[in-house]
Structure 1
Amino acid sequence: MSAITVVGVGADGWPGLSAAARESLLAAEAVLGGARQLALLPDEVTADRVSWPSPLRPSVPGLLARFAQRRLVVLASGDPMFYGIGRTLIECGAPADSLRVLPHPSSVSLACARLGWPVEETEVVTLVGRAPESLHAALYPGRRLLVLSANASTPALVAKLLTERGFGPSRIRVLEQLGGPAEALREGVADGWSLAPGDPLNVLAVDCAAAPGAPRQQLTPGLRDELFESDGQLTKRHIRAATLAALGPAPGELLWDIGGGSGSIGIEWLRAHRSCRAVSVERDPVRAGRIVRNAAALGVPRLRVVHGAAPAALAELDVPDAVFIGGGLTAPGLLEACWAALRPGGRLVANTVTLESEALLTQWYRRCGGELVKLSVAHAVPVGGFTGWRQAMPVTQWSVVKGGGAGASGAAEEVGGAAK
């Protein structure tokens, strides 16, 4: 494949391009880009102009193959490597060393320059091709957010979401056509939003302010139980915090949450880092729908919910870095399937409150090692005119790290044989 030049273009169009970017476009034989970006090029650019089809991603490999032997320039908005086409090209098969990227200042840099906000202290949430509920996880009083808009309707959508979430007093500024001759700024307050849709090329600046009584969400695991819609199948907050500590989420890792219930473990795993991934497996369709709603309400609509019974439902899933089993431990072959699928160095955590499942976990603990603990929580409750303790059912938890040698596999086979 010939080298591909990726040129970032701002709202200022051709005048705002560097000399290197202009030279590349003038020498190009083909230019790929969005219709708006292509329209910014002058007549001196004589290359074939090809607009991206929709959906874009499936078309990328074919277009790259089509222009493999020609001098190709791909246009991007602002910085191609910031939520841009540069990443898409690489993910769709273009070698990173085949790209020559000529960035333009990103909309984030331009917005922070206009607002006087330090870039490194400003959180960015994109709603381009993403569920708007992903904004929930970034809402904290006093925080400054930049929201990358999908279109002209995004400001009103964000204002509605903020109001429903208890952040109605938040100030919203809409920065349109940043860096171009038509640059403009409009503003309002979320719970009184009345601005008509403006330019589709916009970025939102949000000064987060919570209304009295707005629900609070902390960063650490152990969200309050009442934040989850539940029918009672919920890993309670103190046990959940201990479970997440044993699972140990890290950026980019994938969790299997088996027996999802209300989805609390998978949801809190995803809240640990924006690059974390999780699949919640739940056989009950009503609970599966509830997990979807909880994930959206708590800012992680990217949680994948698989409706099906384990272990059969696990067959087509990607290899996990961690597995949590919160239900169905005694299902034939479940533990064996999870252990076999887990990558070396991955963690498996299983919780139970029944003697039968505890006996099974004890067998696995004896042969595979790890840590076997009993977690007990008691709550203070009224006892007549006094106060006493009400004990919740104790939870037996087994956690283990899978080794990379044959011993771990052999231990799993031995336990599997003993369990049959």
Structure 2
Amino acid sequence: MTTPWLDVIGIGEAGLEGLSAEARAKLRAAKVVMGGERFPELPPEISARRLPWPSPFAAMVAAIRAERGRRLVLLVTGDPLWYSVGARLLRAIPGEEIRFHPQLSAFQFAAARMRWSLADVETLSIHRRPAETAIRYFAPGARLLLLAEGAETPPTVARLLTERGYGPSRLTVLGALGGAAETRIDGIAESWSAPCPDFLTLAVECRAEDGATLEAGASSDAALAGLAPAPAPARAAALAALWPRRGAALWAIGPGAGAIAIDWMRAARDAEAATTGPDDLPEIAARLGAPRLRRVGSVTAAREAFPRPAAVFLGAPDDATLEDCLRALPPQGRLLAEARDAAAARRLVAMQARRGGALERITTSRPAPGGGWAETPAIVHWRLIR
């Protein structure tokens, strides 16, 4: 069995005094200690060589690998495996070579200060990520804990809430949690004006006004205007077939792809998508809480973004595009092809005859201005599990 040589130690506001006995022993025995400028100076009895935290992350991994076998300690903030470097390290270094020493996380401290059950709260990081990432979690009564860096984050989140009808939401900015200099600032989103610390945890208790944006599942057709979306019931059926799930990547290519990609990213936490679409697609996606959507121009570009997608949506595909996408899907990967006209529908029927899978014809009826019902053009779906 491989002996761990890399100890990743979480540190809180209490500094080295807050470490467990085991973590302190590993720090004293270390030959090399790597950490950022925020971390405390090492006491004289620790003779390890001190290395700064390189940037970008690839440089840090290279620096860590260069010290393999030398009893290296990496100092990080809080819990290394909760919105910290732990998960990325495990993708670069075998897990049996690493030992983790967690500290109480900012989420745990924040939940305690707010008297919220952590199991019933949405926790996410908008540190070095667009604040719009939080939009998909806005809902009446929802409680959010957001890790953030930068005093501009609370007013940005307050604006996003207010613009969507959540102006009465309560915001609490918590700084230096667990330390002697801990701070707390309370306020209301629609009137937020307080100065904030640079490193903070933001607690949000969502309160909706009449007319607030309330969307679950497929986005409204109006919100997706300009993306040529299929009617919401057809998009909901497409999402059900594609099966969005946490961290999964989607390729969406062809007519209607942008709308499906946005709904995919809104439907599952950390879901990702590479999609074709108009120039303003990223702006529309950000407004709807999918700011990390990737707009691409072709299947080739989608492959560069996500070489092995979990699912593929194809609008009116030809045979060459279909074969290209099927080769990229892993076993159990899902494909949903859509046709909105007779010629494209005939192609899907032929593809299903060769490949199997299931065909569905979807129509939507809506009240007509003069009474009765008006039926939208039929949409054909072909769904296949590889």
Same-fold status (TM-score > 0.5): yes
Aligned equivalent of 2:385: 401
TM superposition shift of 1:197: 2.8
TM superposition shift of 1:262: 6.7
In 2, Cα distance between equivalents of 1:132 and 1:111:
19
TM superposition shift of 1:9: 0.5
- The change in CA–CA distance for 1:160 and 1:315 in structure 2 (over 3 A counts) is closer
CA contact (8 A) 2:145 2:201 kept: yes
Give a deviation string over 1:231-282, Cα, whole Å, max 9, x none. 5x11221111111122222333322111264721111112221132221124
* Greater Rg over alpha carbons, structure: 1
TM-score, normalised on structure 1? 0.86
Alignment of 1:17-416 (within 5 A): 17-37=19-39, 39-55=40-56, 57-91=57-91, 93-198=92-197, 200-218=198-216, 221-230=217-226, 233-259=228-254, 261=256, 263-282=258-277, 287=278, 289-306=279-296, 308-310=297-299, 312-314=300-302, 316=304, 317-327=306-316, 329-330=317-318, 333-383=320-370, 387-402=371-386
Aligned equivalent of 1:406: none
In 2, Cα distance between equivalents of 1:379 and 1:123:
36
In 2, Cα distance between equivalents of 1:59 and 1:262:
36
- The aligned amino acid for 2:292 is R
- The aligned amino acid for 1:209 is R
Give the percent of matched residue pairs that are identical in Structure 1 and Structure 2: 38
Instruction: Pick which of 59-68 and 97-106 moved more.
Output: 59-68
CA contact (8 A) 1:281 1:309 kept: yes
TM superposition shift of 1:100: 1.3
Structure 2 residue runs of 5 or longer lacking an equivalent are none
- The change in CA–CA distance for 1:106 and 1:222 in structure 2 (over 3 A counts) is same
In 1, Cα distance between equivalents of 2:50 and 2:284:
45
CA contact (8 A) 1:280 1:304 kept: yes
Query: Does the residue aligned with 1:59 lie in a helix, a strand or coil?
Result: helix
Query: Does the residue aligned with 1:160 lie in a helix, a strand or coil?
Result: helix
CA contact (8 A) 2:11 2:77 kept: yes
TM superposition shift of 1:40: 4.9
CA RMSD of aligned residues (A): 1.9
In 1, Cα distance between equivalents of 2:10 and 2:178:
13
Query: Does the residue aligned with 1:216 lie in a helix, a strand or coil?
Result: coil
CA contact (8 A) 2:169 2:208 kept: yes
- The count of residues paired between Structure 1 and Structure 2 equals 383
Query: Is residue 7 of structure 1 aligned with residue 2 of structure 2?
Result: no
In 2, Cα distance between equivalents of 1:3 and 1:146:
34
CA contact (8 A) 2:275 2:302 kept: no
TM-score, normalised on structure 2? 0.93
Structure 1 residue runs of 5 or longer lacking an equivalent are 403-420
- The aligned amino acid for 1:76 is V
CA contact (8 A) 1:228 1:262 kept: no
In 1, Cα distance between equivalents of 2:332 and 2:19:
48
Give a deviation string over 1:340-381, Cα, whole Å, max 9, x none. 322232222111122221221111111222111211111111
In 2, Cα distance between equivalents of 1:80 and 1:100:
10
